Amino acid sequence: MPCSPEGTTLTYEDFGAPLLARHCNGCHAANSTNRRGAPVDVTLDTVDEVRALAGFVFDRAVAADSMPPGPEGPTRAERDALGEWLACGAPTRADLAPESP
């Protein structure tokens, strides 16, 4: 999914980190005590880790709805927003800040 020409207003701080904390990091944090079978090399603790795994996250959490497993996963709207954020490079606030002259 390409980033729309308008870009995104979603940031790691305001959207990505809270969504990951609610739905992903129980299994995909480096310090998780019960990864429930999540591969040890799939950690989503930082924006850089998310960016490195953006295609994997998109495929599993947006396109296929297979992650996280179970009925308590993100809503379709949250999954679509995750797709938008990932497609636009998973920006942080600093990435979207206007440049100073």
Give the residue extent of every domain in the chain.
Answer: 12-32+39-95
Give the tens place of pLDDT for each residue, 56-77. 999 999 998 788 877 788 999 9
Q: Are 84 and 9 within 8 A, CB to CB? A: no
pTM reported for the whole predicted model? 0.89
How buried is 98 (Cβ within 10 angstroms: 0-12 exposed, 13-18 middle, 19+ buried)?
Answer: exposed
- For residue 7, give both structure tokens: 């870009």
CA–CA separation, 93 and 87 (whole Å): 16
pLDDT tens digit sequence for 26-47: 888 888 888 887 888 888 999 9
Give pLDDT, residue 101: 63
Average pLDDT of the segment spanning 82-92:
96
50, 78, 93, 43: CA torsion to nearest 10: -20
